[in-house]
Chain A
Amino acid sequence: MTATTTTAGRDAASASRPVSPAVVNALGTVPFFAYTATFLVLPTILVVAGAFTARGGGFTLNGFTQVLSPRTVNIFATSLWISALTALIGAVAGGVIAYALSLSPTGSLGRRIFTALMSVTAQFGGVMLAFAFIATIGINGLVTRLLTPFPALTPDPGFLSSLGGVALVYCYFQVPLMVIVFLPAVEGLRPQWREATENLGGTTWTYWTRVAGPILLPSLLGSFLLLFANAFSAFATAAALISQQSVIVPLEIESALRNENDLGMDAYAQALAFGMIVVVALVMGAYALLMKRAARWSQ
C-alpha cells in the first residue's frame, strides 16, 4: 500500500477496510469491562443509588436519617476508634518488626520465610482466625489453661467477645500487613544516608530524627491509613467473635440486610454501606497522596 497523505486518500483507505484495527483492539477489552461492570461497578452503583431509594422506588432520605440516629452514630464511632487503635498498634509493632527484618541479611532463607509468613498472616482475617484465638485465650484455650496458676494474668472468659478482644485478634493480621507494606520503605533507606550523616558529624540520634524519620514519615502515615481501612472493612472476624449485638458497622450492615423487609428499614443497609464507602474513599485517597510522595523520594 502506498502512503496516502491527503484526507480523501485516508478516508478511502479506511472505508475499504471492513473494520479498523483500533475498533478490533477496543472490542478485545469488552469482556473484561463487561464483567467488572456487572460484578463490581453495578453493585457499587446499586449501593449508592439504593441509599436514596425507598421501597416503592421513590426518593428517600430515610436511610441517612437512621444512620444519623444516636445509636448508629455510636456504632460508626466504635468502628472508627477500633480501626484507629488496631492500626496504631499494628503500625508501631509492625514498623519495629519491619526494621528488625531489614537488619537481617538480604536474601537469607530465614528472612524469606519470615516475609512469606507475614504476607500469609496479613490475609488471615476471618472465621478461622477467630477460632484460633478462642483456642488460645478462650475459656478452654491453651494460654488460658497455662495461665490458670496465675489468676491475675488469666484472660476474662468474656474478653474475646468484647471490643478489646476483637482489637487483639485484629492485630494478628494488622501487624503482618504493616510489615509487608512498610518493609519496602525501610529497605529503601540507603546505607549511604547513615554514613553521610556520620561523616558530616551527625550521631545516630541525628540520623533517626533528621534523616530516616522524615524520609519514612509519609510511608509510615500511609501504612497507618491502609491498616485503618483494612480494619474498618473487616467483617468475618468480628462476626465469629461477637454474636449478640452489632457493635461495629459491618455487623450492623448484616443485621440491616437481614431485616430489610421490616417497616422503616428502607435504604438503611445501603446508607450504612454508603457511609463506609465515604470513609474508606477518604482514607485511601489520603493514602494514595502520601504514597506518591514517598515514591518520589525513593527514586
Chain B
Amino acid sequence: MKPRGAWFRRIVLGLALVYFLVPLASLADFSVRFPLTGKVDAVAWQALFGGGQSDKLSLLREGLANSLVMAVMAIVISLGLLLPTMVLVRLRLPRMVKVVEFVCLLPLTIPAVVLVVGLAPVYLVISTKILDSNTIWLAFAYVILCLPYVYRALDSGLRAIDLKTLSETARSFGASWPTVLLRVLVPNLRSALVSSVFVTLAVVLGEFTFARMLARTNLQTALFEINLSDGQIAAAVSLLVLGGTIVLMVALDLLVALQERRIRPSTRSGIS
C-alpha cells in the first residue's frame, strides 16, 4: 500500500505534539526561573527535596499526604464495592447489569460542581454526627468520581474472560466464592485492576472541586494557595504530578499492549 497522506499525517501530529508538550516544558522553565530577575536557580527544587521547613512546604506536605491517603482509600473502596457487585450481577442477576452500568456512568453526566452542592449537607452530617471534619473522608465522594472509569476498566476486563465458565469450573472443583474471586478472577483481571488503580490515583491526585468547595486541604487546594505566594514551587510540583501521570499512563498502556501481543501474536501480511 502506498502511504496515503504521509505528509499531512506527520505535520498534523507534529503540531499537536508541540501544542501538548510546550506547556509542560514551560512549567519546567518556570520552576527554575526567578520571576522578577529572570535568573536561573533551583531554589524551588531544593526546597522541595532538601527537607526545608516553611509554612508553604508543610501545607503542601499535608495536602499531598491527604491526597495519597484518599487515593488508597478510594482504590480499596471502589474495587471492593464494584468487583463483587459486577461479578454477581453478571452471573446471577443479568437483568441488573444495565442498572449497575447506568449508576456507574451517572457521575459522567452530573458535573462535580453540581454534586458538591448536594454533598455539602451530607458532609455536614458526616463531620458533625458520624465522623469528624478530617479531609480524608472526602475519599467517600472521590469513589463516586472514579466510578465510571473503574467500571469501564473492569467491564472490559470481564468481557475479555469467560466469567461463567471460569467460575463454574472453579466451583465444581470445590472453591468457595471468595476463593473464586481472589484466586481465579483477580489474576485474570490483572491489567483491568492495574488500570483502575492508576486511573483512581490520577483522579484523586488531580481533584480540586470537592476539596475547594468543602474547604478541605488536598494536594490541589494546597497548590492553589501556594501559587499565590510562590509560583515556582507550584510549577515544580505541577510538573512532577503531570509528568508523572503521563509517564505512568503511557507505560501502563504499553504494558497492556505488550501483554495483548503475547496472547495474540499479530500476523501482518500485506498481500494475499
Contacts and interface: CB of A to CB of B under 8 A. Distances in A.
Contacts of A114: 13, 17
Contacts, number: 241
Given A32-B85, A103-B5, A133-B23, A123 B119 contact: no
Contact of B114 (A36, A45, A127, A277): A277
Given A127-B224, A132-B24, A233 B122 contact: no
Interface stretch (A70-78, A138-146, A182-190): A138-146
Q: Which residue, B33, B114, B121, has most C-beta atoms of chain A within 10 A?
A: B114
A296 B3 CA distance: 30
Interface stretch (B43-51, B53-61, B101-109, B157-165): B101-109
B233 to A, nearest CB: 11
Given A107-B266, A128-B241, A240-B224, A112 B253 contact: yes
Interface in B4-50: 4-6, 8-9, 12-13, 16-17, 19-20, 22-27, 29-31, 33, 35, 38
A29 interface: yes
Interface stretch (B64-72, B168-176, B183-191, B201-209): B201-209
Interface string A97-137: 10011011001010011111101110110111101111110
A88 interface: no
Contacts of B29: 135, 142
B144 A142 contact: no
A248 to B, nearest CB: 10
Given A32-B85, A136-B22, A273 B113 contact: yes
A172 B147 CA distance: 24
Interface residues of B, number: 83
B143 interface: yes
Nearest to B257: A112
Given A35-B81, A121-B20, A136-B26, A42 B122 contact: yes
A40 B114 contact: no
Given A117-B250, A131-B27, A136-B22, A39 B117 contact: no
Interface in A40-87: 40, 42-47, 50
A291 interface: no
Given A103-B5, A273-B114, A257 B254 contact: no
B203 to A, nearest CB: 8
B100 to A, nearest CB: 7
Contact of B122 (A43, A97, A104): A43
Identify the 5 closest CB pairs spanning chains A and B, nearest first.
Answer: A43-B118, A233-B111, A135-B30, A132-B23, A100-B12
Interface of A: 21, 25-26, 28-29, 31-33, 35-36, 38-40, 42-47, 50, 93, 96-97, 100-101, 103-104, 107, 109, 112-117, 119-121, 123-124, 126-129, 131-136, 140-143, 145, 172, 175-176, 229, 232-233, 235-236, 239-240, 250, 253-254, 257, 269-270, 272-273, 276-277, 280-281, 284
15 contacts: A28-B84, A31-B81, A35-B81, A39-B144, A46-B122, A113-B254, A116-B252, A120-B250, A133-B23, A136-B22, A136-B26, A172-B19, A236-B209, A254-B113, A276-B111
Interface of B: 4-6, 8-9, 12-13, 16-17, 19-20, 22-27, 29-31, 33, 35, 38, 77, 81-82, 84-85, 88-89, 92-93, 96, 100, 103, 106-122, 140-141, 143-144, 147, 202-203, 206, 208-209, 212-213, 220, 223-224, 227, 231, 234-235, 238, 241-242, 245-246, 249-250, 252-254, 257, 266
